[in-house]
Structure 1
């Protein structure tokens, strides 16, 4: 007979498991290809019970992206502390890894996913997301030895997300782009980001 009552502690654990499971699936197969059904079945609960935790798939996606942030920061710190890597190699490898997204277990929103997600978020949820995203990119800059002021964080965010989105979008979403030149395009864009950041490093 299925359990009908859960303690607050049990519910919180199920919620955390849903977010972690959702992130694992999205990092592996992409956000668009991850369904609510895949998530709640993997956790072993019903569809109705899932929606008692999250009003929509988009609400779970946002929580999963929050969960991913400390992992991204820890990865960046690990690269920066690797004595075998120069500053350019460490930061460049970090950006390349994020561009490859799913192949490296990182969930990266495509253009379509961003549009869908943020059309369905409340204004308050969107504000919180922007704050958390700015905090992440600010911490990344500090990790890279660059003082993070508002202008630098904003520009670094846009530059980084642009190259990630373009790499994910070729050729499916951007059919006029040349797929054969995608990797070289990304390499040049990342070099440009490194050229922007390197003079800002605090010695």
Structure 2
């Protein structure tokens, strides 16, 4: 059953009342629109006014959902990180019978495919650094976990021990994932190039 608790938001001098369900749907719509804009326009070129018009609320109502545009984009970034972690976690859980190097290779390829399919790497590469610079330190300390942290967590969870040490393995894996940014330059052979790089590297690392 839909909860009927009312959330009051002011719009153009009048008062609108949303149920908790409606508020949650608007929040999801904001996140979806922001993710689209992050990939197509970039954070700097996306305005609060544009986002609120897209989801059908007044600009002033935006701050009932997020403290700032940066906090909304941060929510999108965290969502992307969580999705990628989920993709990697699932790939590892489904390949338990394979040799370690093959398991890790499949994880990297699965993550690269997700980034390639969604276009999220554009946002990560172009805006993530600037976004983090604009966030309050207390927010980053409590909520932000970088890619290195996520990779280390997965290695520990599945008892994957790199031959060359965790730090080098983490940096190398991250470097392989960054090749998604060069997909267009590499051209139609990108899938084969990526698979060759990933498989060869994982044999060296694990």
Same fold (TM over 0.5): yes
- TM-score, length of structure 1 as denominator length: 0.62
Distance 2:142 2:204 in 1: 28
1:40–1:46 Cα contact (<8 Å) kept:
yes
What's the CA shift string for 1:133-177, capped at 9, x where partnerless? Answer: 4542233223543269xx72x544433332333431566xxxxx7
Q: State the Cα RMSD in Å.
A: 4.3
Are 1:117 and 2:131 matched, yes or no? yes
Match for residue 42 of structure 2 among 7, 27, 32: 32
Count residues with an aligned counterpart.
189
1:58–1:120 Cα contact (<8 Å) kept:
yes
State the secondary structure of the residue aligned to 1:4: strand
Match for residue 73 of structure 2 among 61, 76, 84: 61
Distance 1:24 1:85 in 2: 36
Q: Which runs of 4+ in 1 moved over 6 A?
A: none
Query: Any gaps of 5 or more consecutive residues in structure 1?
Result: 172-176, 199-203
Are 1:194 and 2:202 matched, yes or no? yes
Distance change in 2, residues 1:72/1:95 (3 Å):
same
From the two aligned structures, give the one with the greater strand fraction. 2
Query: Any gaps of 5 or more consecutive residues in structure 2?
Result: 1-9
Other-structure match for 1:137: 151
Match for residue 87 of structure 2 among 75, 91, 105: 75
Other-structure match for 2:4: none
Are 1:94 and 2:102 matched, yes or no? no
